């Protein structure tokens, strides 16, 4: 992996995580949003491939869209798991 590729992953993760935290709520700060965005990119990529979906945009915009969808789903799952844990205590 080159430095440019690594920085691109960080940038896409930051953008997707930030957008997802705005839409869904529950942002985790810059570092947390980057991690959520990168993991969300993986989740979104798996979901889009599994359901044979295509991003509505080409290139970098499509990549950010798929990462955003995955990050939003990840944030929703985190919120549900936290609220469920709080009820049990």
Render each residue's pLDDT in the chain as its tens digit; 89 residues.
Answer: 789 988 888 888 888 988 998 998 776 778 888 888 889 888 998 999 999 998 888 888 998 999 999 999 998 988 888 776 555 55
- Give the model's pLDDT for residue 68: 92
Residue 24 has what pLDDT?
87
pLDDT of residue 87: 57
- Are the C-beta atoms of 50 and 73 separated by less than 8 Å? no
Which two structure tokens, joined as six digits, stand for 35? 């991690």
Contact by Cβ (8 Å): 24, 76: yes
pLDDT for 86 equals: 54
C-alpha of 66 from chain center: 8
How far apart are alpha carbons 64 and 70 in whole angstroms?
Answer: 10
pLDDT score, position 88: 57
Burial of 28 (0-12, 13-18, 19+ CB in 10 A): middle
């Amino acid at each position: 992996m080159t430095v440019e590729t690594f920085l691109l992953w960080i940038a896409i993760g930051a953008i997707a995580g930030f957008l997802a935290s705005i839409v869904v709520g529950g942002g985790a700060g810059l570092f947390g949003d980057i991690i959520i965005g990168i993991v969300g990119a993986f989740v979104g990529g798996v979901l889009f491939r599994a359901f044979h979906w295509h991003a509505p945009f080409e290139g970098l915009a499509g990549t950010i869209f798929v990462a955003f969808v995955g990050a939003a789903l990840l944030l929703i799952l985190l919120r549900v798991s936290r609220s469920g844990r709080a009820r049990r205590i």
